[in-house]
Amino acid sequence: METNPFFQIVAATFAELGVGDAVVSRTLLLKDRHFVGYCFRCGDFHAIWKPDDTEVRFFGAGGQLLRAVSLPNQEKRNAA
């Protein structure tokens, strides 16, 4: 299990949204070969975080925004 507090927040939020015990995967988002954020997937749901954001946005299977979770400063630094 991932021990990074940022990743734990993401996994816990997916669980709160009812995803269950599905595995959370993390993918780097790149634009012109530069890091621009992470995409997390769990079941049919996904979440996006970009380094300039203070929150992670969670989306449902149809792409609708379900929740935005604010990150404490320490978790934002740990994410990068």
pTM of the model: 0.83
> What is the band of 71 on the pLDDT scale with cuts at 50, 70, 90?
confident
DSSP line for 13-78: HHHHTT--SPPEEEEEEEETTEEEEEEEEETTEEEEE-TT-SEEEEE-TTS-EEEEEE--HHHHHH
User: Could you read off the pLDDT of 30-52 as tens digits, one per residue?
Assistant: 999 999 999 999 999 999 999 88
pLDDT band at 78 (very low <50, low <70, confident <90, very high): low
Nearest CA to 29 among 14, 57, 49, 7? 49
Asked whether the predicted pLDDT for residue 75 surpasses 60, the reply is: no
**Per-residue pLDDT, 26:** 93
Three-class secondary structure of residue 2 per DSSP: coil
